[in-house]
Amino acid sequence: MPRVSFAFFLSAIVYGICGMVLGMVMVMGVTQDHTLMPVHAHINLLGWVSLAIMGGFYALAGDRAPRRLSWINFALSNLGILLVGPLLAVLLTKGDLRVVPFMALGEVMLVSGMVVFGVAVLRTAKAGPTATTAAAA
């Protein structure tokens, strides 16, 4: 498995655990306060699900995936999640609007990461199948 896939999967696991713990705290009687539900959703969908899917793609693509783009994808996606998640929590709990420009930066990073992922998918498809993939087909 390529190192970038391992990095995506490891990050996804960390975000998945964080999202689950946040969900337990909100729902399972610890607080019964659902104010942070959007944070829970962002962490689970952008962190756990999206990064796991990206890691799976890079694992399947192997050497055909553009290496540099895959690491740029990893960096943008993680930095975006790390900005948006905590700052969204601050916005929801404190109402501090000073975090909004930084959240916007995080959202731009997330969208950019997805665009880079799309480019990587297209370039990988353009590279064609490997010899082992072609033999299996």
Q: Nearest-5° angle of CA 22, CA 29, CA 93? A: 50
Q: H-helix or E-strand containing 28?
A: none
Question: Is residue 95 within 8 Å of residue 69, measured between CB atoms?
Answer: no
Residue 29 pLDDT grade (very low, low, confident, very high; cuts 50, 70, 90): low
Q: Which two tokens stand for residue 60?
A: 């399947």
**pTM for this prediction:** 0.89
pLDDT tens digits for 58-68? 999 999 999 99
Comparing 29-33, 88-92, 103-107, the range with the smallest average pLDDT is 29-33
Mean of pLDDT values over 75-98: 97
Residue 133 pLDDT grade (very low, low, confident, very high; cuts 50, 70, 90): low
pLDDT tens digits for 35-59? 899 999 999 999 999 999 999 999 9
Longest dimension (CA), the chain: 58
Q: Which position has the higher pLDDT, 33 or 137?
A: 33
Question: Is residue 120 within 8 Å of residue 73, measured between CB atoms?
Answer: yes
Question: Is residue 110 within 8 Å of residue 60, measured between CB atoms?
Answer: no
Between the two ends of the chain, the Cα-to-Cα distance in Å is 21
Comparing 47-51, 93-97, 132-136, the range with the smallest average pLDDT is 132-136
**Dist. CA 137–CA 133, nearest whole Å:** 6
